[in-house]
Amino acid sequence: MVVLEVNVLKNAACALLILITLSLPYPFASAQDIPHLEKKGDRFALVVDGKPFLMLGAQIGNSSSWPVSLPNAWVALEAMHVNTVEAPVYWEQVEPVHNTFDFTNVDLLVNQARAHHLRLVLLWFGTWKNGQNHYVPEWMKSDPKIYPREITAYGKLLDVMSPNSAANLEADKHAFTALMHHVREIDGARHTVIMIQVENESGSVGSIRDYSATAQQSFNSEIPADLASALHIRPATWAKAFGADADESFAAYSTAHYIGEVAKAGKAEYPLPMYCNVWIAYPVHALENRDRPSPGQEYPSGGPQQANISIWKAAAPSIDVLAPDFYSDDSALFREILATYHRADNPVFIPETHFGASFGRYFFYALGSGAIGFSPFGVDRPVTAVATANPEAAVDENRQPNPAENFALFAPMVDEIAQFNLQGKLQTAVEEKGSERQTLHFDEADAIISFGFPQSDGNVPPGTPQLQGRAMVAQLGPLEFLVAGFDASVSFSLSPTPSARNEQIEILRADEGMYIGGNWQMSRILNGDETDRGLNFHHGTQQAVRIRLHKLPLYDQEVRKLRQP
Ligand code: DGJ
C-alpha cells in the first residue's frame, strides 16, 4: 500500500516533469546551451555545448541530401576527417504541396550525421540558389501571378523571385519557420545541427535589380529610415542617396531585408546562428572576357558581396555572419576577402572553397584570421568529376588532398585550437612565392618559419613547387608554444627588444605528440637533428610539437670584464 502510494507520487512527479519539460521551448536545454556566437576582442567563436568549436567542415554536392546519395557522402566525409557536414535542405522537397511538409530528408541527415559523430549545418535552398530560384516548389514556379518574378528593365520575367513581393516572403518565411520548428523538435536537446545557412548565394542573376511595378514604386521613394540612420546618410530617393550605385544598393536592401525577415521568423522558433554565403565579386583579372564585374552578370546583384556588406548589416540584423565562398587560386585575393569580411560585426567563416591542393594553404590563412570554420565544397563528387572541374584536385596519389591532410592533423586537437584562436593566441604563416622565410611575432619570442626541404645552413629555404608550406604557432605560456604544420621548419629567437641584448633563449624541451581527449600526450621528446635547425614538419605529418624555451644571460659579466681589453 505504502509502496503503491510512493509509486503514484513518483509517477505524478514524473508526469509533471515531462509536462514542464515539453512546454519549454527547448526541451532539456537552456538558451545558453543552444549553439551561439561569442566575441572576445576582435575574435569570435561558435560555441557548441559550452565550448568554442572550430568547424573542420565539408559541403556535400547540391543533389546529395537524398537517401540514394548519402551513403557515398559519408565515406567521403570520413576520408576528409571533418567534424561537420554542410548539407542542403530543398524547399521543393520539403514543401511539395503548399503547406504540406515532408522532413524525411532532414531527419535522415540528422540521424546519419549523429551515427557518424558529425555536426551538421543545414543549407536552406529556398528563394535563392546561386542567384536564381531553382529550388522553389513547383506550386510557386508555376504561378508567377501570385509569386512574382524579378522583372528586367526590358520587362522580361527571370528565373529569380522578386525580393519585393510580400507573397514570396510570406511563403519562404512559412516554410523556413516550419523547418526551424522541426529542427528544434528533433534536435533542440542534442545540437547536432549547429548553424543554418539562410538561402544560397542570394542576389539576382540576369538583372541589376527588380523593375516590377512594386519595385519601381519603392525605388522612386525615399530610402528606408533604418538604412539612412545605419549608414549615416540623409533620407533621399535611392538615386539621390546612392547615385551610380543606386540600382544595386536597392537590390541589396530588398534582398537583405527579405532574407533578414526569413531568418528572424526562423529564429523565433529556434535561434541557431544563421549566416548567408556570398558569391563574391571577383576582380577584373579573375573574370573571363569582361572588362568589369557587372552586377547581375558576373555575380548576383544585391547579394552580400564586398560592396554591399554595410547595407546587409543594416537591413538583415538577424543574419549573424556574411560568409564568403571562395573559388579562385589567387591567394592575395583570398587574404583581401578575409580582411574585408573580418569586421567587428562579422566573424570570419569560409563555407565553400574548391576541393583542391592550393586550398590546404587557405585553411591556414583562414585560421590565422580567427575563422570559426572552413569547408571545401562538393567533397562527395566522383574523383573524375572533381578532377575535371578542378585539375588541381588531382593531386599526387601518394599524398592526401591538402584539406584532408589539414583536417587529419587538426581534428584531435580542434577544441584546443578553437580556444587558442578565441583568445587571440594563435598565428599562422603560409608560403608565398618569394616569402620562403617568414617571422611571427609573439611578446617575448619570434617564431621563424622556413618553407621547403632540404634546408641547408646559410642558404634561403628552397620553398615547395606548389607553395604547400604552412605552419601554425599558438602561445601556451610566455615561452611555451604549440607548433604544427607541413613542409616547414620552425625555430625561435628572442624578440629584438633592448633588454634582449644580454639574453638568449634555448630549448628546455620539445615534445612531439597530440592532444587526446583534452590532454596532451607526448609520444617522444625531440632533440638533436629534430630540433637543432628548427622543428621540422614534413608533409603527411599528423603530430604537433609542444616546445618550452627559457631565457638565460648571453654573457657571463665577470669573464667578459676580464677579457675586455
Ligand atoms: C557555389 C554554390 O553555393 C554551390 O551550391 C555550388 O553550386 C557551387 N557554387 C558549385 O561550384
Q: Of 65, 122, 130, which is best to mutate to test ligand 1, by the most ligand atoms within 8 angstroms of its C-beta?
A: 130
- pLDDT(15) > 70: no
**399 contacts: CB under 8 Å, gap ≥ 6:** 405, 539, 540
Atom of ligand 1 nearest to the CA of 123: 5
- pLDDT(19) > 90: no
Nearest CA-CA partner of 104 in 180, 175, 182, 27: 182
Q: Which residue has the least CA distance to atom 1 on ligand 1?
A: 130
- pLDDT(6) > 70: no
Cα(258) to ligand 1 centroid in Å equals 21
Cα–Cα distance list, 549 to 256, 446, 447, 449 (Å): 51, 12, 12, 17
Cα(130) to ligand 1 centroid in Å equals 7
Q: Of 62, 90, 353, which is best to mutate to test ligand 1, by the most ligand atoms within 8 angstroms of its C-beta?
A: 62
- pLDDT(222) > 80: yes
Q: How many CB atoms lie within 10 A of CB 295?
A: 25
Scanning the structure block, which residue is given the C-alpha cell 583536417?
A: 407
> What DSSP element (H or E) covers 139?
helix 138-141
Nearest CA-CA partner of 180 in 347, 318, 20: 318
Cα(328) to ligand 1 centroid in Å equals 13
Indicate the pairing of strand 193-200 with strand 119-129: parallel
Question: Which band of pLDDT confidence, cut at 50, 70 and 90, is reported for residue 540?
Answer: confident
* pLDDT of the residue at 326: 96
Beta carbons of 337 and 346 less than 8 angstroms apart: no
Is residue 187 lining ligand 1, measured as CB closer than 6 Å? no
Please give the angle made by the CA atoms of 439, 442 and 444, to the nearest 5 degrees: 115
Three-state DSSP class for 410?
A: helix
Tens-place pLDDT, residues 99-113? 999 999 999 999 999
Average pLDDT for the chain: 90
Is residue 199 lining ligand 1, measured as CB closer than 6 Å? no
Atom of ligand 1 nearest to the CA of 88: 5
Tens-place pLDDT, residues 489-526? 999 999 887 666 789 999 999 999 999 999 999 999 99
Beta carbons of 545 and 530 less than 8 angstroms apart: no
pTM of the model: 0.90
Atom of ligand 1 nearest to the CA of 377: 8
Is residue 352 lining ligand 1, measured as CB closer than 6 Å? yes
Q: How far apart are the first and last CA of the chain?
A: 104
What distance in Å separates the CA atoms of residue 476 and residue 449, rounded to the nearest whole number? Answer: 18
What distance in Å separates the CA atoms of residue 386 and residue 412, rounded to the nearest whole number? Answer: 27
Cα(204) to ligand 1 centroid in Å equals 15
Atom of ligand 1 nearest to the CA of 201: 3
* pLDDT of the residue at 402: 73
Is residue 242 lining ligand 1, measured as CB closer than 6 Å? no
Q: Which residue has the least CA distance to atom 9 on ligand 1?
A: 130
- pLDDT(391) > 90: no
Beta carbons of 196 and 124 less than 8 angstroms apart: yes
In 49-146, the DSSP E strands lie at: 51-53, 55-59, 84-90, 119-129
- pLDDT(12) > 70: no
522-551 mean pLDDT: 96
544-561 mean pLDDT: 90
CA atoms within 13 A on the CB side of 323: 28
Is residue 325 lining ligand 1, measured as CB closer than 6 Å? yes
348-357 mean pLDDT: 89
Q: Which residue has the least CA distance to atom 5 on ligand 1?
A: 62
Please give the angle made by the CA atoms of 152, 158 and 163, to the nearest 5 degrees: 80
Atom of ligand 1 nearest to the CA of 389: 11
Tens-place pLDDT, residues 441-499? 999 999 999 999 999 988 999 999 989 999 999 999 999 999 999 999 999 999 887 66
Tens-place pLDDT, residues 131-167? 999 999 999 999 999 999 999 999 999 999 999 999 9
Is residue 130 lining ligand 1, measured as CB closer than 6 Å? yes
Dihedral pair phi/psi, residue 131, rounded to 5°: 70, 15
Q: Of 59, 63, 322, 325, which is best to mutate to test ligand 1, by the most ligand atoms within 8 angstroms of its C-beta?
A: 325
Q: Of 201, 280, 355, which is best to mutate to test ligand 1, by the most ligand atoms within 8 angstroms of its C-beta?
A: 201
Scanning the structure block, which residue is given the C-alpha cell 609520444?
A: 523
* pLDDT of the residue at 289: 55
Question: Which band of pLDDT confidence, cut at 50, 70 and 90, is reported for residue 383?
Answer: low
* pLDDT of the residue at 495: 86
Q: Which residue has the least CA distance to atom 8 on ligand 1?
A: 377
**153 contacts: CB under 8 Å, gap ≥ 6:** 207, 208, 211
Beta carbons of 73 and 63 less than 8 angstroms apart: no
What distance in Å separates the CA atoms of residue 309 and residue 322, rounded to the nearest whole number? Answer: 8
Cα(551) to ligand 1 centroid in Å equals 52
What distance in Å separates the CA atoms of residue 430 and residue 470, rounded to the nearest whole number? Answer: 4
Percentage of the chain beyond pLDDT 70 is: 88
Q: For CA atoms 134, 135, 137, 140, give the dihedral sign.
A: negative
Residue 398 corresponds to which cell in the numbers above? Answer: 601518394
Cα(520) to ligand 1 centroid in Å equals 39
